[in-house]
């Protein structure tokens, strides 16, 4: 058994490329070797900024041989009248790489056909790899590719060397004018090389010990965390780890060297968010806090070198960060001297979307919509309106101009500094939540109202302009807006109708030239929103048929959709649910076909004097009781009880179908029985569309 190693040496790759590169190499080599007939003991991949590596252990020296019977042309075509092979037989033999004499005739259902044995494998593994490697390297996907020199080959960054060894033999191939060999390079400074490898088995020890490279991303990440924690503990602090930044940092270095630097204590007067954003976004560094969550005058950065004099490098990092923080302090002081009125005036010169006016106009619409929502939700309309008006003011602040990721957050901080209420300040900080499917919704009522108003204004405006998301194209994140509204309404339990929300938001735009007629735009927006509500529940792993059933009934009342779905799911876990669903579906189908589709007016009111059979009398009694209890439970939103009532009445419905001819000849009896079922469907249809349950 042999070991194979492939190393693609490049100029520095972006950190965001590394995880995907490892995954693609693993999947493509696994598939390629399987298709070639190999089984392997171990296949591992890893990537650093300067290299991507594949290591395969347990390879056969020769490709496993395989024989396969292949059917050829019909015998009547393969041989002439004299029994001599025709050109069809000769061509088939050439395809298999065998003599015509080795072919045989086999009987099939369609007659006699020529057959032959196709042999594959038996090729030296070094030759198989020589063909496989360049095809995989050339096909590796990257978000961005580049060309260099005069060639046409494209890759993430220029390829500078390739190691390809099967035990002690070079796997020969060429790609992008680079010829594979046995010479590797180490860390640019700590172990530059070059190093000549005797065998594939020498690779890991050579590159890690002589080349000073930590190959595995997990090892680099773990070392950064352990050493960073040790340095922070020595300073009586703890690192504020950010997973996304940590993944990026480990992808920027081949030999991580954590370094704890100092910050002038005077900078701690700046808001925590400003300090951390400056460290993280500009310097790829981490903040340090004490046990109470207060920032300490330190930062942790990660070097890619072990300098002879660490203090010199430390001072350099501190000097660079100090300049960044000085900028932040200047922006902070400048913004504190400004007033909200000045910023609100400036918003009138900031474009939201050209046909939709300025950001100043948007905040006025949001303010009015917040007032409307606050009244619906029983909150303070004045505070809500104030939050809406101030919602985008920080966009023209100096700080957000430098750190755009702080929009909203700085608005909340400045609101507190400038005397606004705590509720307004918190709402400004929460207005962009949720920012994705996994981020939290606003924690406060006012923040939730502001977030909904902002998103609704954007949705209505974009749909009015015909900017309807299609496929993967959603430049204004309208799907995220709809998801955000859905999540807030479900988690906060807001009971207003989404359709009314969009209508109110559209009114606030006033008279303007739309691409879509207002009613058409609202119709498209409602359909889009309902689809997003369905998608939200489906991505949670909820049963598709149940989601379809509940969203077919008043989907604009999102809070009720969520509660009805939970109740229907509870009912669906009962053993007799498939039978119950079938019964309710049968009732729905009968009323649809014999009522609306047949043009027969059904009111849901029956005449007790026309009840003849015991089964229909029993059902009538049960329905009378059910309807009274139904209205009581409906008034308290007890959806569990409502669905349970339907389940309890099912045996009486089944008995009606088994023992009574609903569609009898007597028109009065038939109408009376249909009206009993119609009365039931009037209640059923308030809960779910049972005809959608194809169980």
For the residues of 93-117, what is the DSSP string, one character each?
HHHHTS-GGG-EEEEETTEEEEEEE
Give the per-residue pLDDT at 268: 94
Phi and psi torsions of 93, nearest 5°: -65, -40
Model confidence band, residue 598 (pLDDT cutoffs 50, 70, 90)? low
Q: How many angstroms from the chain centroid is the CA of residue 469?
A: 16
CA distance 375 to 380: 7
Which of the residue ranges 46-60, 87-101, 351-365 would you say has the lowest mean pLDDT? Answer: 87-101
Average of per-residue pLDDT values in the chain:
91
The answer on pLDDT for 111 being more than 90 is no
Q: Would you place residue 584 in the very low, low, confident or very high pLDDT band (cuts 50, 70, 90)?
A: confident
> Which band of pLDDT confidence, cut at 50, 70 and 90, is reported for residue 220?
very high
**Do residues 286 and 240 touch, judged by C-beta distance below 8 A?**
yes
Question: Token match 């702080």: residue?
Answer: 406
Half-sphere exposure of 288 (CA within 13 A, CB side): 24
Residues 209-216: what's their mean pLDDT? Answer: 95
Least confident of 89-98, 383-392, 567-576: 89-98
Rounded Cα distance between 629 and 42, Å, is 65
Using DSSP's 3-state secondary structure scheme, residue 528 falls into: helix
User: Residue 264's Cα: distance from chain center in Å?
Assistant: 41
Whole-number pLDDT of residue 353: 85
- Using DSSP, state whether 8 is helix, strand or coil: strand
- CA-CA distance, 430 to 412, in Å (whole number)? 8
- pLDDT recorded at residue 119: 67
Please check the confidence at residue 650 and state whether its pLDDT lies above 60: yes
Position 597 scores a pLDDT of 67
Ramachandran region, residue 291 (left: φ > 0; alpha: ψ -120 to 50; beta: rest): alpha
Determine the 3-state secondary structure of 171 from DSSP: coil
Question: 121: pLDDT confidence band, cut at 50, 70 and 90?
Answer: low
Q: Comparing C-alpha atoms, which of 87, 122, 85 is closest to residue 102?
A: 85
Chain-centroid distance, C-alpha 483:
12
* Per-residue pLDDT, 444: 96
Report the candidate in 235, 253, 254, 244 with the shortest Cα–Cα distance to residue 300: 235
Is the pLDDT assigned to residue 695 strictly greater than 60? Answer: no
Residue 318 has pLDDT above 60, yes or no: yes
Domain boundaries 568-692, corresponding CATH code: 1.10.730.10
Angle at 569 between CA 565 and CA 571, to 5 degrees: 120
149 in Cβ contact with 177 (< 8 Å): yes
> Is it true that the peptide bond before 17 is cis, omega within 30 degrees of 0?
no
Arithmetic mean of pLDDT, 434-463 = 94
pLDDT at 646 over 90: no
Between residues 688 and 113, the one the model is more confident about:
688
Structure tokens belonging to residue 237:
């602090």
Enumerate residues 6+ apart whose C-beta is below 8 A from 97: 118, 119
Query: Cβ-count burial of 181 within 10 angstroms (0-12 exposed, 13-18 middle, 19+ buried)?
Result: middle
Token output for 536: 């939200």
Q: Give the separation between CA 100 and CA 338, rounded to whole angstroms.
A: 93
Report the range of poorest mean pLDDT among 184-188, 322-326, 666-670: 666-670
- Token pair 């996304």: residue: 244
Cβ neighbours around 54 below 10 Å, total: 21
| Residue corresponding to tokens 């072990």 | 306
Confidence of residue 694 (pLDDT cuts 50, 70, 90): low
Q: What per-residue confidence (pLDDT) applies to 91?
A: 82
**Both ends of the chain: CA-CA distance in Å?**
54
User: What's the mean pLDDT in 533-548?
Assistant: 91
Beta bridge partners of 5: 55, 165
Q: What is the mean pLDDT of residues 168-193?
A: 94
Could you tell me how far CA 578 lies from the centroid of its own chain? 33
Task: Name residue 33's beta-bridge partners.
Answer: none
512-536: per-residue pLDDT in tens?
889 999 999 999 999 999 999 999 9
Interatomic CA distance for residues 113 and 594, integer angstroms: 60
User: How distant, in Å, are the alpha carbons of 231, 372, 373, 448, 619 from that of 379?
Assistant: 48, 10, 8, 11, 46
What gap in Å lies between CA 607 and CA 673, rounded to an integer? Answer: 9
Phi and psi dihedrals of 514, rounded to 5? -100, 155
How many whole angstroms separate alpha carbon 550 and alpha carbon 573? 16
Helix (H) or strand (E) holding 296: strand 295-303
Mean pLDDT of 546-571: 90
Count the residues in the chain: 695
The pLDDT score that the predictor gives to residue 35 is 86
Evaluate if residue 471 carries a pLDDT over 80. no
Long-range contacts of 417-423 (CB under 8 A, 24+ apart): 417/336, 418/339, 418/340, 420/340, 420/386, 420/390, 421/383, 421/386, 423/380, 423/383, 423/387
d(CA 304, CA 249): 10
Nearest to 550 by CA among 204, 8, 559: 559
β strands within 444-562, DSSP E: none
Query: What is the pLDDT at residue 365?
Result: 97
């Amino acid at each position: 058994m042999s070991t194979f190693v492939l190393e693609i040496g490049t100029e520095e790759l972006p950190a965001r490329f590394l995880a995907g590169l490892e995954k693609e190499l693993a999947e493509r080599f696994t598939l390629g070797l399987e298709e070639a007939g190999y089984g392997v003991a171990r296949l591992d991949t890893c990537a650093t900024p300067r290299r991507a590596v594949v290591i395969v252990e347990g390879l056969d020296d020769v490709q496993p041989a395989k024989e396969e019977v292949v059917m050829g042309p019909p015998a009547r075509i393969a041989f002439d009248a004299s029994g001599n092979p025709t050109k069809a037989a000769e061509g088939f033999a050439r395809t298999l790489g065998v003599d015509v004499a080795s072919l045989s005739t086999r009987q099939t259902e369609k007659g006699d056909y020529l057959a032959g044995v196709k042999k594959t494998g038996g090729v030296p593994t070094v030759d198989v790899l020589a063909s496989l490697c360049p095809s995989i390297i050339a096909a590796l996907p990257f978000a961005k590719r580049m060309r260099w020199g005069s060639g046409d080959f494209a890759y993430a960054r220029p390829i500078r060397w390739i190691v390809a060894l099967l035990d002690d033999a070079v796997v020969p191939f060429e790609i992008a004018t680079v010829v594979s060999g046995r010479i590797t390079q180490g860390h640019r400074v700590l172990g530059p090389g070059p190093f000549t490898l005797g065998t594939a088995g020498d690779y890991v020890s050579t590159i890690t010990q002589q080349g000073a490279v930590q190959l595995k991303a997990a090892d680099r990440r773990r070392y950064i965390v352990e050493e960073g924690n040790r340095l922070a503990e020595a300073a009586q602090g703890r690192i504020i780890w950010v997973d996304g930044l940590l993944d990026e940092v480990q992808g920027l270095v081949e030999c991580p060297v954590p370094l704890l630097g100092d910050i002038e204590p005077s900078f701690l007067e700046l808001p925590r968010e400003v300090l951390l954003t400056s460290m993280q976004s500009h310097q790829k560094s981490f903040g340090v806090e004490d046990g109470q969550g207060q920032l300490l005058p330190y930062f942790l950065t990660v070097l890619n070198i072990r300098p002879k004099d660490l203090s010199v490098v430390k001072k350099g990092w501190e000097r660079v960060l100090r300049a960044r923080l000085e900028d932040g302090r200047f922006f902070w002081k400048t913004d504190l001297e400004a007033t909200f009125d000045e910023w609100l005036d400036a918003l009138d010169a900031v474009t939201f979307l050209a046909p939709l006016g300025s950001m100043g106009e948007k905040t006025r619409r949001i303010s009015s919509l917040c007032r409307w929502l606050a009244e619906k939700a029983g909150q303070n309309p004045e505070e809500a309106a104030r939050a809406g008006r101030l919602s985008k003011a920080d966009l023209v602040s100096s700080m957000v101009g430098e750190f755009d990721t702080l929009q909203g957050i700085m608005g909340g901080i400045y609101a507190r500094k400038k005397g606004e209420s705590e509720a307004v300040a918190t709402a400004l900080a929460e207005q962009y939540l949720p920012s994705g499917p996994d981020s939290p919704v606003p924690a406060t009522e006012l923040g939730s109202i502001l977030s909904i108003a902002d998103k609704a204004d954007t949705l209505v405006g974009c749909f009015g302009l015909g900017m309807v998301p299609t496929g993967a194209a959603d430049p204004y994140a309208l799907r995220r807006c709809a998801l955000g509204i859905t999540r807030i309404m479900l988690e906060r339990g807001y009971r207003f109708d989404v359709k009314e929300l969009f209508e109110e938001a559209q009114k606030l735009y006033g008279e303007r030239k739309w691409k879509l007629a207002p009613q058409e735009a609202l119709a498209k927006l409602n359909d889009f929103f309902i689809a997003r509500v369905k998608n939200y529940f489906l991505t949670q792993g909820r049963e598709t048929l149940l989601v379809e059933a509940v969203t077919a009934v008043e989907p604009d009342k999102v809070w009720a959709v969520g509660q009805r779905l939970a109740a229907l799911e509870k009912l669906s876990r009962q053993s007799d649910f498939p039978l119950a669903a079938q019964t309710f579906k049968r009732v729905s189908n009968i009323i649809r076909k014999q009522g609306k589709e047949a043009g027969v007016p059904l009111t849901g009111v029956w005449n007790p004097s026309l009840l003849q059979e015991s089964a229909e009398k029993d059902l009538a009694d049960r329905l009378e009781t059910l309807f009274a209890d139904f209205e009581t439970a409906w008034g308290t939103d007890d959806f569990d009880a409502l669905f349970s009532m339907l389940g309890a009445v099912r045996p009486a419905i089944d008995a009606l179908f088994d023992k009574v001819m609903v569609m009898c000849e007597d028109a009065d009896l038939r109408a009376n029985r249909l009206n009993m079922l119609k009365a039931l469907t009037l209640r059923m249809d308030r809960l779910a569309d049972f005809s959608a349950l194809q169980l």
